[in-house]
A and B are shown apart, each in its own frame.
Chain A
Amino acid sequence: MLLKVNPNRMELIRLKKRLIVAKRGYKLLKDKRDALIQVFVRLAKESNMLREELEEKLLKCYAIFSNTSSLMSKLALEETLMFPKAKVKTEVSFKNVMSVNVPQYKLKCEGRYYSYGLVDTTAELDSALRKYHEILPLMLRVAELDKSLTLLANEIEKTRRRVNALEYVIIPDLEETIKFITMKLDEMARSNTSAIMRIKEIIRA
């Protein structure tokens, strides 16, 4: 589609500059898209693997914990669980992947989680808690990957739209308009020459 501009030399210069910028932007964005997809595929594969591992391990944990709760009286279990002494926190840092800020979580545990008496609890509870404790870093890693993948997918979509807009709309439009202006200017020059030639003939006669 032709851009709506006046066919003169000023516009021509302006459009040529815009075309150069558009081409450079297109190349850069294409590189960005390719790099993002590369990172994305790597993370997606890892995420898939870790998620399967997590689901398997968590189900095992749940099973152990059910075992525990069936061995202990409900009241005793509630009592045990009432006052946790440990605190789990996470430190968040950001990694820049192709201008996407991807979070990274680091687990910080404070205090011991065996915060109950030994009298009314079973040994199964200890092992269940240990299993839960072991699984936490994996859970955080999966959360980190989930978030990263969402952010990256959005960014890839956005970049791809930009690349497509540049490739199929903006650059062809600019090229067509530049061609149109050049033709028009040439045409004007030709008509000018012929007019001068005619005037010259009239004067001579």
Chain B
Amino acid sequence: MYKIALMGNRETIIGFKLLGVSIFPVKKKEESVEILNKLVKEEYAVIFITEEIGCQIIEEIEILQKTSFTSITIIPSKSEKKYLGLKILRNNIEKAIGTDILFRKEVE
């Protein structure tokens, strides 16, 4: 049995606390990288990261997603939509197929 973690700014993720998801409020980049690296080594199978933190540590997320057992997923945050999750999806599609054949609509 593995645990589920949630990282992001406090206001966005606090609601999940009563469900029993482990939440890690973070603000700064260095802090989030540190916590993310720690969580990946522990028994977390899924880590959700809110968009505005995810934007800052996207390189680390991509590396860990490729190399570690943990699944790291971007979820939208309360404040603004940045479509980071969709961007990662499109990157993957481009890498696999060569072109972005599925969605032609712009999300930039």
Q: Which residues of A contact B (CB under 8 A)?
A: 36-37, 40-41, 44-45, 47-48, 51, 54-55, 58-59, 61-62, 65-66, 80-81, 84-92, 103, 105, 108-111, 113, 115-116, 128-129, 132-133, 136, 139-140, 142-144, 146-147, 149-154, 156-157
Contact = CB atoms under 8 A, between A and B. Distances in A.
Interface string B1-20: 11110000000101111111
B66 A129 contact: no
A151 to B, nearest CB: 8
Contacts of A143: 46, 48, 71-73
Contacts of A105: 45-46, 71
B4 A47 contact: no
Interface residues of B, number: 38
B19 A103 contact: no
Interface of B: 1-4, 12, 14-21, 45-46, 48, 65-66, 69, 71-73, 75-76, 78, 81, 85-86, 88-89, 92-93, 95-97, 101-103
B2 A92 contact: yes
B89 A149 contact: yes
Given A139-B73, A143-B46, A143-B73, A65 B15 contact: yes
A44 B2 contact: no
B103 A48 contact: yes
A106 B35 CA distance: 24
